[in-house]
A and B are shown apart, each in its own frame.
Chain A
Amino acid sequence: MRNIFVIAKNTLKLEVRDKILYGIIIFGLLYIFFTLFLSDLVLQELPMVKSFGLTGIFFFNAIIALFLGTTSFFKDVDRKVVYFILSKPVSRAQFVLGKFFGLCLVLLFASVILSVAYIGLILYEHGGFDALGLLAIAMQFLEMALFLAFAIFVSTFSSSLLSIVYTSGVFFLGHVVSTLLAAAKQIGLGGIKLMLVEILYYIFPNLEKFDARDLAIHAVAMPFTSFALAVAYAGVYIIILLSAAIWIFDKKEI
């Protein structure tokens, strides 16, 4: 456990020094401040200001997760840092878990900075303290954690560039799969085709359930059951992905 903590701490230290990360965070902050002008464009309608703000946080967090998840693990293997770490009494499983938790901490760091800016923006626009918005950001964080786990899983067997391709694909499909199933039913798709879509729907990481933005923007509280099921879903899927990553990394010759 201590080894995991040390690797996580070092990952956090290493990544927060990265200028690219700061660049993305600064662009995120600029976007949130730009939302002030966007809100003027839509006559300061609060739901629209919230929608632009939460979308910005989600978008920049997704870029950070994609950037960290696909490069950090691969860099350690590619630059032989992993030799040094694994020569100590550290197992490969601990290394994978340490990297995952470390990257989650980096993501949390970025999320907190962007959330503070968002909450400030909503207060400035006389929208009060947006607790539902914070819940939506927390759900986004869960989604990003799952996303990171997938990126680490892919990084154990493919190059950095391919990891970006695979992870982006999962991100896109993860959001489309619910609408895809609804559309398949709407157009009357049946038989084996519908079954394939349903298999995809149930097996593939379904990321729509982490989208509490719609609810937060329209000031609707997320039901506790949905929240709990989404947390459980993320937890189980992360366990699957990290276990698979550890399994593959254990067998890998480095």
Chain B
Amino acid sequence: MAITRSSQFSKVVIFVLLFLLVILLQYEYDVTKMTLPASSGASGVSSLMVRMADLGFHPAVGSFLWATTMPEILDLFRDKTEYLSDVAFVNAVDPKMSYPYAFSVLTLPAVPSNVFPDGLKDAIAIGNQGLQSADPDWRIAYYMAMDYYLGLNDKKDALLYFDIAARTPGVPQFAERFSLNFGIGSNERETTKELWTTIRDSTNDEFTKERAQMYIDHLDDLDTIQAAAVQYKQQYGAYPTSPSELVTKGILPAIPQDPFGFTFVINKDGTSGIDLTKLPQSISTEPAQ
């Protein structure tokens, strides 16, 4: 009898110890666990209910909700604004899913302003939220840059967002090339350089300063080659066919090294540009999507 009681007692003790171990493991897990962005904003409470009830299927529920929300963009043309609240809800259920942000930034400004006047404002707000919360997705910054440039006529912010797009992992070749060379045309180069100079001089962020300087150097190199080409024409009667001729004839000591790695060319009208057939190593291959 005594042995049975002792055995029962030891079993209970072992169970209690095991449960204490479970509690300890749970506590340690909570201390060390990685957390993805949680729901926030106006949809916070209702999205919390969804996240409670979906048994951990947040991305699948978010994807499903998004599949039903996406067509609602067309309702904006009929002055129905459910799309905005629904996309906010989708973003609250799965804040890391980047596509709803990118889609909204691209499409909201396309709705005529007489029907939906806040399209651009909402697109920028959703885009900024996406840049903070979502998986890195070049499309968000790229479309935002387009919105700033085409919709708001704000070239300075367009430059900043194109730079973000160019630095986003997974950016395709065409988008990276376009983003890095936005505003390099000879007729707009001066304005672009002034804007980058303003950005460099007004920011306290060292990284932004450094990036702005790279763009200024890139534009300076294009100016140097173009000025040398003009000098070449004055001396020899025609524009050179490549920057190397400028070095051969002693007009330039060396071809400038582009900070982004592009190869410079001289066009038939004497303007300078980049060689689209020889892209830098960093963007010469199409990244996997």
Contacts and interface: CB of A to CB of B under 8 A. Distances in A.
Interface of A: 38, 41-43, 45-48, 50-52, 54-55, 58, 126, 128, 171-172, 175-176, 179-180, 182-183, 186, 201-203, 206-209, 211, 213-215, 217-220, 222-223, 225-226, 229-230, 232-233, 236-237, 239-240, 243-244, 247
Interface of B: 11, 14-15, 18-19, 21-23, 25-29, 32-34, 36, 38, 48, 51-53, 55-60, 62-64, 66-67, 70, 96-99, 135, 288-289
B63 A240 contact: no
Contacts, number: 125
A51 B41 CA distance: 24
Nearest to A221: B34
A209 B29 contact: yes
A197 to B, nearest CB: 13
A169 B106 CA distance: 44
A183 B63 contact: no
B21 A226 contact: no
Instruction: Please give me the 5 A-B residue pairs with the lowest Cβ-Cβ distance, nearest first.
Output: A51-B59, A55-B60, A48-B63, A211-B56, A175-B55
A51 B60 contact: yes
A229 B25 contact: yes
Name the prevailing secondary structure of the B interface residues: helix
A203 B22 contact: yes
A179 B52 contact: yes
A209 B26 CA distance: 9
Nearest to B95: A218
Contact of A226 (B22, B33, B59): B33
Contacts of A128: 288
Given A202-B23, A239-B18, A240-B22, A45 B99 contact: yes
A142 B94 CA distance: 24
A128 B287 CA distance: 12
Nearest to A235: B25
A67 to B, nearest CB: 17
A222 B34 contact: yes
15 contacts: A42-B66, A42-B99, A47-B63, A51-B57, A128-B288, A183-B48, A202-B22, A214-B56, A214-B59, A226-B34, A232-B25, A233-B22, A236-B22, A239-B18, A240-B19
Contacts of A226: 29, 32-34
A194 to B, nearest CB: 15
B106 to A, nearest CB: 12
Instruction: Kindly name the residue among A206, A214, A239 whose own CB sees the greatest number of chain B CB atoms within 10 A.
Output: A214
Given A215-B36, A229-B29, A47 B289 contact: no
Contact of B60 (A52, A206, A218, A240): A52
Contacts of B63: 42, 45, 47-48, 51-52
Contacts of B98: 47
A184 to B, nearest CB: 11
Given A202-B23, A229-B25, A240-B19, A214 B33 contact: no
Contacts of A179: 48, 51-52
B115 to A, nearest CB: 24
A80 B245 CA distance: 96
A41 B48 contact: no
Contacts of A202: 22-23, 26-27
Contacts of A175: 55-56
B28 to A, nearest CB: 6
A167 to B, nearest CB: 14
Nearest to B11: A247
B15 A236 contact: no
Max chain B C-beta neighbours (<10 A), residue from A52, A180, A229, A244: A229
B57 A223 contact: no
